């Protein structure tokens, strides 16, 4: 969401394809009841990475946000034990010392070019920003940049930068504890629907994502993807029913299913479809399965006029049912909810400012039982 403006544009284009495929091929099936058993492909592998089941993103583009020292008690009050940041601020890292709350850190995008060519720079980042803190603060992963795999100025340098960060971590013998990865928007998929036919964007599939996935496999690190059913719903309106995007109530007799015509797998919600499309796209590169972490997911509480689905009640329902959906699955997929706070300083569409579980003053926007 740091680069939300860009993402929104790329995702708009992308979802137009989904709208079309749904309208042309499968609108009737998404509304149909019955069909074969419900299932998914994603997540059918052990990940055992010490990564969270439910975590939360801590973005900082808000006025009046509480000081870092106040974070652990706010996060604990939500019963969340895992936090993902968009930077490596020592004050934040320090504030989570001895709290039992784990951190996923992020190296800012603009560092990627120098990290790709200069191992000493990577070592200096690890020496200065990780080494002094990792004994007291649980650090599980470092994302090298945020949603850069499709940006030409970074994409060619991304894997070399990740390799150097991993080397630096290994040099300090932290590689078993701290995984190196990078977050992707779902715009890396040029086709997502039906999920069994999803493929990665041609421009980066072989040149960037294949070596990247091989790196993740070699280092036993997860693929991190940002998954936004809200954007998919909004951009394909009205072909995806709102309750399909909001995870339908488990025992509703009117529960809808969408059956993938090629795999025969039946889906009851948009989230499962989106994750299975990631699974198929990785497979389409000829690579084995890889553990996936959903690095961002959420639902906005407010937006521009015309965005009626962005509401307090829908955000509460989405996040609550997401938590319950994940709890029920035997094959766990860790997620980081977006986000801890509303970020009123974000530019772009109004909807970007309203993803928080908490107001800046720390009080809850709605109840969420995790």
User: Which segments of the chain are extended strands (E)?
Assistant: 54-58, 82-85, 102-107, 138-146, 179-185, 189-191, 199-200, 223-226, 258-259, 266-267, 292-297, 335-337
Could you confirm whether 296 is annotated as catalytic?
Answer: yes
| Nearer to ligand NAG (CB atom), residue 117 or residue 252 | 117
**Residue listed under structure tokens 């690190």:** 221
Angstrom CA distances, 285 to 189, 205, 212, stand at 12, 8, 12
Tally the C-alpha atoms within 13 A of residue 39's C-alpha that lie toward its C-beta: 10
Q: How many chain residues bind ligand NAG (CB under 6 A)? A: 7
Should residue 359 be labelled a site residue for ligand NAG when binding is judged by CB under 6 A? yes
Task: Report how far residue 142's alpha carbon sits from residue 130's, in angstroms, rounded to the nearest whole number.
Answer: 10
* DSSP state for residue 358 in the 8-state scheme: B
Nearest distance in Å: CB 86, ligand NAG: 22
Check 53, 69, 121, 147 and give the catalytic one: 147
Note whether 200 and 285 are within 8 A (CB).
yes
Check 123, 296, 343, 352 and give the catalytic one: 296
Q: Please select the residue that binds ligand NAG; options are 67, 330, 361, 367, rule is CB under 6 A.
A: 361
- C-alpha 103: how far from its chain's center? 15
Stretch that binds ligand NAG, among 19-27, 185-193, 198-206, 359-367 (CB under 6 A): 359-367
Number of neighbouring beta carbons within 10 Å of residue 100: 9
| Nearer to ligand NAG (CB atom), residue 205 or residue 315 | 315
Nearest distance in Å: CB 142, ligand NAG: 17
Binding mask of the shown chain, residues 108 to 147, with x at each position contacting ligand NAG by CB under 6 A: ----------x-xx--x-----------------------
Nearest distance in Å: CB 63, ligand NAG: 11
| Nearer to ligand NAG (CB atom), residue 329 or residue 364 | 364
Which residues are annotated as catalytic? Answer: 147, 296
The binding site for ligand NAG (CB under 6 A) comprises 118, 120-121, 124, 359, 361, 363
């Amino acid at each position: 969401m740091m680069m939300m403006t860009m993402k929104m544009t790329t995702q708009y284009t992308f979802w137009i394809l989904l709208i079309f495929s749904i309208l042309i091929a499968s609108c009737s099936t998404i509304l149909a009841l019955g069909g074969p058993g419900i299932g998914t492909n994603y997540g059918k592998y052990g990940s055992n990475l010490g990564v969270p089941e439910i975590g939360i993103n801590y973005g900082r583009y808000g006025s009046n946000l509480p000081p870092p020292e106040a974070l652990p008690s706010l996060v604990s009050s939500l019963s969340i034990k895992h936090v993902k940041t968009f930077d490596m601020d020592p004050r934040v890292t320090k504030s989570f010392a001895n709290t039992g709350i784990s951190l996923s850190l992020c190296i800012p995008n603009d560092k990627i070019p120098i990290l790709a060519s200069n191992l000493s720079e990577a070592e200096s980042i690890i020496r200065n920003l990780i080494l002094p803190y990792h004994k007291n603060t649980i650090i599980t992963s470092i994302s090298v940049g945020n949603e850069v795999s499709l940006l030409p100025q970074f994409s060619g340098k991304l894997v070399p930068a990740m390799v150097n960060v991993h080397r630096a971590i290994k040099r300090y013998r932290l590689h078993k504890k701290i995984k190196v990865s990078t977050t992707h928007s779902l715009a890396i998929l040029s086709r997502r629907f039906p999920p069994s036919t999803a493929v990665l964007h041609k421009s980066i599939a072989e040149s960037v994502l294949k070596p990247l996935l091989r790196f993740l496999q070699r280092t036993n690190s997860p693929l991190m993807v940002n998954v936004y059913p809200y954007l998919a719903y909004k951009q394909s309106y009205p072909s995806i029913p709102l309750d399909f995007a909001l995870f339908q109530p488990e025992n509703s007799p009117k529960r809808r299913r969408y059956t993938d015509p090629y795999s025969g797998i039946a889906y009851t919600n948009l989230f499962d479809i989106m994750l299975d499309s990631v699974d198929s796209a990785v497979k389409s590169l000829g690579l084995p399965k890889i553990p996936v972490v959903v690095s961002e997911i959420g639902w906005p509480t407010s937006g521009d006029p015309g965005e009626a689905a962005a509401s307090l009640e829908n955000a509460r329902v989405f996040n609550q049912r997401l938590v319950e959906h994940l709890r029920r699955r035997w094959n766990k997929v860790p997620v980081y909810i977006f986000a801890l706070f509303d970020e009123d300083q974000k530019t772009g569409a109004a909807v970007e400012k309203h993803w928080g579980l908490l107001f800046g003053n720390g009080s809850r926007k709605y109840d969420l039982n995790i």
